[in-house]
Structure formats: structure tokens, C-alpha cells
Amino acid sequence: MTKTSVVKEARQRQLIEATITVICRNGYSNTTLAQVAGDAGLSPGIVNFYFKSKEQLLVATLEYLADEYERVRNDTMVPAGKSPAAALTAMIEADFHPEVCTHEKMVVWYAFSAEMQAQSSYYDLLSKLEARYFDQTQDLVERLIAEGGYRGVDSTVVATGLNAMVDGFWYDLLVDPVGFDRGRAKQACRLFLRGIFPTEFGAAGEDAEQDRRAVSEDAASSLTVADETLPAWTYTDPEFFELERRAVFERAWQPVCHESEIRQPGDFATFDLLGNSAFLVRGDDGTLRAFHNVCRHRGARLLDGASGRCARAVECPYHGWSYDFQGRLKAVPADRSFTDMDWEAHGLRPIDLEIFQGFVFVRFVPGGVTLAETLAPYAEELSVYRPAEMVPLGPLTTIEVPLNWKLLIGNYLEGYEVAAAHPGLARLFGRYQVEASDGVARAIGTLSQQPSPNWSERHYQRLLPLGDHLPAARRRSWCYYSLFPNLGVGVHPDMISFFHVVPIASDACLVRLRDYGLPGEDRTLRAARYLNARINRQVLDEDVAILDRVQRGLSSRSFETGLLADSEIGLRRFSDWLRAALPVARLRRPPAGSLELHNADLTRA
């Protein structure tokens, strides 16, 4: 072959591959020579030099796909030898070979098939290819029937059935490229043949081991590894979100308020999470208790608002059933109409409650690790800030954002994005020092001595250090603690800021924000807190803007998982923690069928 011929062939192939990409992206009817040239990185004139018309280019593209398919079939089937069973197995392997069986090429195959009746050249090529494929399949089946002595088996029916299965799986790849499982598609075709030819495809033979090996290899290839992020589908799938609700959130400690907010008997605070509602109430004995915010009569919600006060009892607004502050049923209107009612059995349902250094947490499903055990590695260093003595510095702020909750928490856990996404934080302290353990992480940034050009940052730097009660290393440091799954706590020299991400749906969450500090009227401290809040409002706006880009990108078919840097320790630990809680999150793509059943299988494994 001459040099000119080599260049011509390379250019033609370059244009054909660009045509495949354009058809997949824009559709058959919207494909133009100008678009093909653009994708190939060539001028439109070059396209016209090698292909005189769009139709000529399209015919060449279809011929290219057909030749590629036949080449892969021949290369796969020839080594199989003369055995018809081995040849059929090789044929199945060829039909799902990664070189020919791709989503992009499926789109193009079906685009040409849709034009068959209008384009005689397409019809001739595709019908001849289909006929050769069917004849080859039927010939192998007939040989199996003859060699195995099978009676009553129709080779036409078997060949038609096998071809239909392959066509069906190709269509699955077309409509659901993320969920398509190449290994299981091949296994299903072999199982079809095993049901008809048990001797040649029997469970005790080499084919059974091949099936097990294929499924095992496919499963291994579908699992994410430690250096990868959680799969994109776990951020968008509503069924996975439902698994998170039951397996993660209902079992996790959730912050409600500070003890200082519910000092007197009858003071209460509420918290809602994914269909569950809880309230805390201070008893007449001074004890703080937590209950499900549900009346035992007809299930009505008892208390509204983030906080408030009950004068004498917790009373249901529906029928007037009331409960004392220890949760006992106290009064029932027309109680004689309830025959033989057990009053003790109809008290409020309690919820796990734990207080950590003044902050009150609840857990809807009992059992598991205590909050004190989880936070033990950082309990001593947190205590120097005297959080138990703190009070709220302002009202609770809630912001609803159209993001999956994991995006906000994952972003809170790492500092890799600071240089690009948060110029203010980069000016203040640049990188974090990050560490993480089971269920909790911490990052520390030490404020720079170099004055920032930004007004808020520069004046905040000038006002520090504050807090004689703090060790020297913490007087100019911002520390970020993360309690898995959904709480971030910014611990600053001047105040503590809660960043509580409450999921609403797979693509929405509520961010609860509140600052706490030691009581006092020091003007310098008030100024520092004002500047601190101003800086962090800007950071939150930047986070929401950049994460909106990520949420949209995660819906792209092109993205399955991302790569984690060694410095993203907190995000690595969080991903490992969630995969342990929900093993199905290890799968690179969502499996077909029930996520709950797949998760149960992986849990047992």
C-alpha cells in the first residue's frame, strides 16, 4: 500500500468515526458534514475531498460498522475450532465484544435500521448481514442437534430465539447504558442454550465454570475501588435515596438544639427528618427527654415550630389527648368511651437522646454506637472551647438547595477545592490539615499573618487572637469537625457554627445553620463574629454555585466515578463509611432489579 493510500484510509476512518459520534449525539437527520468535520478537527473541504456527498459518507459509515462486526465475529469464532457448542459460545462472546457492543454504536446501528425502508442501500446491506448471521447460527444449531441426538428440536426456532435475545440485550444497552451488564447478558444467552442442549452446555461442565467466572469477573469490574468517589448514580437515584433514609439517617445521631434553648419545664424543640418527627421537652424534674412527635390516638402531629413552650402538658390539637412532660398519657376527653384502655401502654414513644458538651442529639432507630464513643477522639480538644456554656447567637437559619446531600457533606470534608473555588479562604489560610477516623473527621486551617486585601478578612485577622481560655495553637485556627453522615461543625476562636444538611430528596436538601458562642457583651468579640459570619456566607454561596455544576454533571452518561487525591482523606473515609452502611454503593453502575435485594445480597457476602 502506498503512502497516499495509507493517508487516505486514515482520513476516511477519522471521518467515519466522527460521523458515528455525531449521529449518536445529534441523531441521524440532524447530522451534517460541517458537524462531522468539526468533530474530526478537519475543514469541510477535506470531507468533500474524501466523500463526495453526505450520503456517500453515511453508506461508508454503515459499511465500516458491518465490516468491523464481521471481523470481530471471525476473530472470536475461528479459534473455537470445529465444535458447534464452542462456536456458539464464541459467537455470543463476539456479539457482546466491547469493540462492537457499545452504547454509541448501538445508537448508530438503530439509526440506520430506522432508515432501511427509505434507503435501499441500507436495506440491502443490513438484510444480507442479518441473513448471514441467522444462517450461521442455524447451521451450528443443526449440527448440535445431529451430534447430540436431540429429537423434536427445531433449529429455526432455536436460532430465532438466540438472535432475539441478543437483539433484546443490544436494545437494553441502547436505552440504559448505565444499567447494562455485559457479563449477565452473555450468561443469559448461554443459559438459554443450556436449557435446550444440557449435555453440551451442562451445569457440570466447563461452560458452568465459564458462567461463574464471567459473572465474577463482571462483578469485580463493576465495583469501585478505594481511590474512586462514590458512583454518580448514588447521587441521583431515588431508590438509593430511600435505602439511605432507612439504613443511614434513621440510625444516625442528629443535632436538634443546645441545652440553653430549653431550660425551663415545658420548653420544647422539634426536629423533622424524612417523614419522622421528634420533639425534646424539659420535664418538671429538670430532665430532658425526646419523643416521637406523634399522638398515640390517631397519629396527629403534636407540636409545631422549631421551638416553644407547653404550659402544663403536651396536648394534641386534633382530639385533645394530652401527655405530661415524661411522656405519660395524662388526659383523654370522654375517656369512658374507650373501653378497657391501658393508659400506661398509650404514652408517647421515646427516642434515643444524647447530650454532648451541651448540644442535644436524637436518633430515631435505637441501638448502635453512642455519640460519646464516636466523638471520643476529639472530646478533650473540643471541651476547651467550653461549648456547654454557650448560647445561640441568632435564630436558626434554613436554606433549601437543589443538591444531593452527599455533595454538600463531601465538599465540607475536603480542602482540595479551596484554591480554585474559595479565594477568600485561600487568602486566609490556604490548605487544611485533615484527618479522619470511623464516623468523624477533622480539618484545621491556621490563619495567615499576611493581611488579606479583602476588607472582612483583613479586619477579622486584625481582631484575633481572641479567647484567653483557648490554647495558643487554637487562637488563630479554624477547625472543621464532621460527624457522619450529615453534620459539619465549624469551631472558631470566636464561635461555633453548625452546618447540618438534612436530606429531602435525591436532588434536594435543607441546610440548617446556627451559630453558638459564650455569652458576653465584648465589642471586639461581636465584631469578630460579624466578620466571621460575613466570610462564611460568601463561602456557602460559592459552594452552592460550584456544586450545582457537579449535580448536573453527575446526571451525564459520560461520568461514572471520579478519582480521589491522597489529600482528600475525609472524603475517602466518608465514602468508605457509606459503602459499609450500604454495600450496593460499591457498584459502579446501578444493578437491574431491586436495589434493596442487591444490597441485602452484598451485605451477606
The pLDDT, as a whole number, for residue 485 is 94
Q: CB within 8 A of 512, min separation 6: which ones?
A: 396, 397, 398, 498, 500, 501, 502
Final residue of a structural domain among 333, 368, 403: 368
Same domain, 364 and 399: no
pLDDT at 108 over 70: yes
The pLDDT, as a whole number, for residue 431 is 65
Q: CB within 8 A of 197, min separation 6: which ones?
A: 85, 144, 148, 150
Answer yes or no: are the C-beta atoms of 363 and 374 closer than 8 Å: no
Who wins on pLDDT, 481 or 226? 481
Asked if residue 373 is part of any domain, the answer here is: no
Q: CB within 8 A of 468, min separation 6: which ones?
A: none
Who wins on pLDDT, 276 or 79? 276
Q: How far is it, in rounded angstroms, from Cα 351 to Cα 136?
A: 68
% the chain with pLDDT above 70: 95
Task: Return the CATH number at 274.
Answer: 2.102.10.10
% the chain with pLDDT above 90: 46
The pLDDT, as a whole number, for residue 203 is 52
Long-range contacts of 364-371 (CB under 8 A, 24+ apart): 364/249, 364/250, 364/251, 364/273, 364/276, 364/278, 365/250, 365/251, 367/251, 368/251, 369/439, 371/253
Who wins on pLDDT, 163 or 215? 163
3-state secondary structure 217-248: HHHHHCECCCCECCCHHHHCCHHHHHHHHHHC
**DSSP per residue, 377-421:** HHHHHHHTT-GGG-EESS--EEEEESS-HHHHHHHHT--TTHHHH
Same domain, 400 and 317: no
Final residue of a structural domain among 176, 201, 221: 221
Torsion-angle region of 268 (φ positive above 0: left; ψ -120 to 50: alpha; else: beta): beta
Same domain, 282 and 144: no
Indicate the range of 64-78, 185-199, 387-401, 426-440 predicted with least confidence.
Answer: 426-440
Q: CB within 8 A of 453, min separation 6: which ones?
A: 427
Rounded to an integer, the average pLDDT of 24-38 is 86
Asked if residue 584 is part of any domain, the answer here is: yes
Name the residue range of residue 598's domain.
385-605
Same domain, 504 and 415: yes
Summarize pLDDT for 261-314 with one digit per residue, the tens: 999 999 999 999 999 999 999 999 999 999 999 999 999 999 999 999 998 999
Who wins on pLDDT, 155 or 598? 155
Summarize pLDDT for 215-253 with one digit per residue, the tens: 444 444 577 777 889 999 999 999 999 999 999 999 999
Rounded to an integer, the average pLDDT of 132-143 is 91
**DSSP per residue, 419-455:** HHH-HHHHHHT-SPEEEEETTEEEEEEEPPSSPPSSH
pLDDT at 547 over 60: yes
Q: CB within 8 A of 588, min separation 6: which ones?
A: 221, 222, 223, 224, 231, 560, 561
Same domain, 347 and 311: yes
The pLDDT, as a whole number, for residue 217 is 46
Final residue of a structural domain among 221, 238, 261: 221
pLDDT at 206 over 60: no
Who wins on pLDDT, 597 or 131? 131
User: How distant, in Å, are the alpha carbons of 93, 199, 202, 206, 217 from that of 212?
Assistant: 15, 18, 13, 10, 8
Most confident range (mean pLDDT) of 58-62, 125-129, 325-329 is: 325-329
pLDDT at 573 over 50: yes
Same domain, 214 and 260: no
Residues 447, 448, 453: CA angle, nearest 5 degrees: 110
- Domains identified in the chain, total number: 3
Same domain, 279 and 363: yes
The pLDDT, as a whole number, for residue 434 is 84
Same domain, 480 and 551: yes
Using pLDDT thresholds of 50, 70 and 90, give the confidence band for residue 212: very low
Asked if residue 233 is part of any domain, the answer here is: no
Q: How far is it, in rounded angstroms, from Cα 571 to Cα 559?
A: 18
Same domain, 336 and 431: no
Asked if residue 29 is part of any domain, the answer here is: no
The pLDDT, as a whole number, for residue 220 is 46
Same domain, 311 and 417: no
What's CA 176's distance to the chain center, in Å?
17
Q: Minimal CA–CA distance to 517: which of 500, 534, 498, 496? A: 496
Question: What DSSP state is assigned to residue 566?
Answer: T
Asked if residue 33 is part of any domain, the answer here is: no
